[in-house]
Structure 1
Amino acid sequence: MTGSHARRGKPTRYDFSTRSIGFDDRRGHLFVPDRPADAPVVVLAPGAGLQWRPTLEATAERLAARGYAVVVFDHRGFETIDGDGLLSPSRQRADLDAAIEAARDAPEVDGDRLALWGMDLSAGTALAAAAETFHVDAVVARFPVLTGKALLPAWVRPRLAGLARGFVDYPVSLIDRIRGVEESDRGLRVPLFGEPGEVAAIAAPGAERGMRAVTGRESRTTPARSLVKLSRHDRHDVLGELTCPTLFVAGADDELAPPETVAAASEQVADASLVRVPTDHYGALDGEGLERTLNHELAFLDAELGDRDTKLL
């Protein structure tokens, strides 16, 4: 698929405007296209351990230039470098629910035409939200991760070491909180990104390298109890409950969300499409990988959210 966004390259600010949007005592950003009026809205949820601006701004701009309103936000704990960095699937779900409500209530958009977009752990969260709570017209699940164990170290020794450290982190963090220790320094901490043989919350070949390439930053740390929370998280149960059209995007070289795992998940959803793109897990966040992947996602959103009377750009 080709479109004006591909020919122009990076959209200009004449294609859309942005403003801060509040929800649940927090702030996100709303991208509003120049046209059409009352645009359908897409809520973008960043991948595990990532902030929206370095990883999703390019995607949000291209969607807005295409004619979609877009809501983007950071999960609690990841808004600033001083946040606690806790990977909590239940907390992320609450964040997404609040962002959806804010998107539907925004006066500039058509809240009755709403899609969710998520990457890895947030893709699983988006699938669960669509199945369980909200009226959602479509879901884009890019490189979805439905079980938190998929993010943990594959090697037994570092996984067990990380979980043991995580259980100890609960009382230590509580004591530090009582003592008034800064949130980002409480308890026992482990690297957020690492290799399969290391103690880290997200451990996969090239995960830390891919994160640095996109964000330009060194990996931060996360409370060790993140590993415990991830080990208990599994949302395969929602797949059979999904009724809205769903696009599953698999990366041919993705070792964090292997393409065969993504394909197996798509087969459990009644109205699902599956595409494979030639990239690894973080390769679709910018450059050629983003353009290739986003072309598929835009074609899907155009088909599912396109206004009956007003054609999107």
Structure 2
Amino acid sequence: MAVREDVTFTVGASGKDRISAWFYRPTSDGPVPVLVMAHGLGAVKTMRLDAYAERFSAAGYACLVFDYRNFGDSEGQPRQLLDIKMQLEDWSAAVAYAHTLPGVDKSRITLWGTSFSGGHVIATAARLPGIAAVVSQCPFTDSVASLRAISPVTVARITARAVRDLIGAHAGKPPVMIPTAAKPGDLGLMTAPDAYPGYLRLVPEGPAGATMRNEVAARFGLKLSTYRPGRSAKQVRCPILFWVCETDSVAPAGPTLRYAAQAPRGEVKTYPEGHFDIYVGEAFERVIADQISFLDKHLRTVT
């Protein structure tokens, strides 16, 4: 059985902010591959990433699961500020820290991301040398496609709140928040019929769930439209698995499949589930089995 440790590492030249992470160390002998993992839009590691890491570690893989700055157990102010550039810096810092972990094979560092972080791992693998493999689960690959899945009225409301938040930030005011997931007709970044109940299924019971915040600083809405990490897929030279939900209401399958076709060593698995279905139940079991099969194929052959 794997041992889980609470660890921290710093990010940025000043090293001011500490990032909170879990390190899962399997009982396997010798250096083992390590998966660097983080969650999606406004989510934190306690939202079932432990379920994934436990299964990966049981299969012989070390896992480093972290919260972004400003979220969860990590430091950083203001809280709930989602900044794409900062999150990509956090990925780089996490990969650098993974190189220092005891018992891991530095030549087999793998990136695992889901939803919004599914896009981050594409961009990170294209930028950082030495990544052995990538798993990109139901990934956000194209902002234009995702925005088209939202009604124009909702987009306008998000933009208005984002502008108000940005103006307030310049005046030194606290962030104006916007729900990450909301019911259809309500204001939120994800308002498809399956978004709010799907989000709630990921929230843990007990104290951890009670303190969880379903919101981010609204200014993120102004930066979203320019982020298209799928365009980096053609620059990813290592094996990359695109795990695509055919009925995805948040990250439409079409653009992801087109980007996946451009990856030199891309592989695709498609499933009939929606965006939030794959974290729980029978769909989760199929996902884990397929992802471990991919990891075994590309990481177990390295000597």
TM-score normalised per structure 2: 0.87
Contact 1:151 1:203 in 2 (8 A): no
Extract unaligned runs of 5+ from structure 2: 11-17
Contact 1:23 1:102 in 2 (8 A): yes
In the alignment, which of 40, 46, 63 is matched to residue 70 of structure 1?
63
Contact 2:158 2:218 in 1 (8 A): yes
Query: Aligned pairs, how many?
Result: 287
Cα distance, 1:234 vs structure 2: 1.8
What residue is the counterpart of 2:7 in the other structure?
A: 21
Which residue identity lines up with residue 262 of structure 1 in the other structure?
A: T
Cα distance, 1:307 vs structure 2: 4.8
Contact 2:142 2:255 in 1 (8 A): no
The equivalences for 1:23-42 within 5 A come to 23-24=9-10, 25-42=18-35
Which residue identity lines up with residue 201 of structure 1 in the other structure?
A: L
What residue is the counterpart of 1:127 in the other structure?
A: 122
Distance (Å, rounded) in 2 between the aligned partners of 1:30 and 1:224: 32
In the alignment, which of 86, 94, 117 is matched to residue 91 of structure 1?
86
Matched, 1:187 2:166: no
Change (3 A) 1:230 1:93: same
Cα distance, 1:270 vs structure 2: 1.3
SS of the counterpart of 1:238? helix
The equivalences for 1:208-287 within 5 A come to 208-216=196-204, 220-287=214-281
In the alignment, which of 108, 124, 137 is matched to residue 142 of structure 1?
137
Distance (Å, rounded) in 2 between the aligned partners of 1:159 and 1:299: 39
Contact 2:178 2:217 in 1 (8 A): yes
Cα distance, 1:228 vs structure 2: 0.8
Residue by residue, what CA displacement relative to the aligned partner does 1:180-236 show, whole Å, maximum 9, x if unpaired?
A: xxxxxx132221112564432233331111010121558622211011121222223
Change (3 A) 1:86 1:176: same
Distance (Å, rounded) in 2 between the aligned partners of 1:190 and 1:230: 14
Which residue identity lines up with residue 256 of structure 2 in the other structure?
A: V
Cα distance, 1:89 vs structure 2: 1.7
Matched, 1:173 2:166: no
Cα distance, 1:116 vs structure 2: 0.5
TM-score normalised per structure 1: 0.85
How well do the aligned residues superpose, as a CA RMSD in angstroms? Answer: 2.2
Extract unaligned runs of 5+ from structure 1: 1-14, 178-185
% identical equivalent positions: 28
What residue is the counterpart of 1:10 in the other structure?
A: none
Contact 1:93 1:125 in 2 (8 A): yes
Change (3 A) 1:219 1:22: closer
Distance (Å, rounded) in 2 between the aligned partners of 1:149 and 1:202: 14
Distance (Å, rounded) in 2 between the aligned partners of 1:83 and 1:57: 26
Distance (Å, rounded) in 1 between the aligned partners of 2:241 and 2:275: 16
Which residue identity lines up with residue 84 of structure 2 in the other structure?
A: P
What residue is the counterpart of 1:55 in the other structure?
A: 48
Change (3 A) 1:149 1:201: farther
Which residue identity lines up with residue 293 of structure 1 in the other structure?
A: V
Cα distance, 1:48 vs structure 2: 1.3
What residue is the counterpart of 1:7 in the other structure?
A: none
What residue is the counterpart of 2:298 in the other structure?
A: 304
**Which stretch of structure 1 is more off in the superposition, 136-145 or 155-164?**
155-164
